[in-house]
Amino acid sequence: MRRSRASTDSSDAGSAPLEFIAVGLLVLVPLVYLVLAAATLQAHALGAESAARHVARAIAQADGIRSADARAGAVLATTAREYGMDASAVVLSTSCEPAAPCPAAGATVRVNVRTRVALPLVPPVFGLERIVSLPVEATAMQKVSRFWGAS
Per-residue pLDDT tens listing for the chain (151 residues): 555 555 555 566 667 888 888 888 888 989 999 999 999 999 999 999 999 999 999 999 888 888 889 999 999 999 999 998 988 889 999 998 887 777 888 889 999 999 999 888 888 888 887 888 899 999 999 998 887 766 5
- Could you tell me how many residues make up the chain? 151
Using DSSP, state whether 105 is helix, strand or coil.
coil
Q: State how far the Cα of 145 lies from the Cα of 11, in Å rounded to an integer.
A: 81
pTM, to two decimals: 0.77
Using DSSP, state whether 28 is helix, strand or coil.
helix
CA distances from 89 to 84, 114, 133 (A): 12, 8, 12
User: On the CB side of 24, how many CA atoms lie within 13 Å of its CA?
Assistant: 6
pLDDT at 21: 87
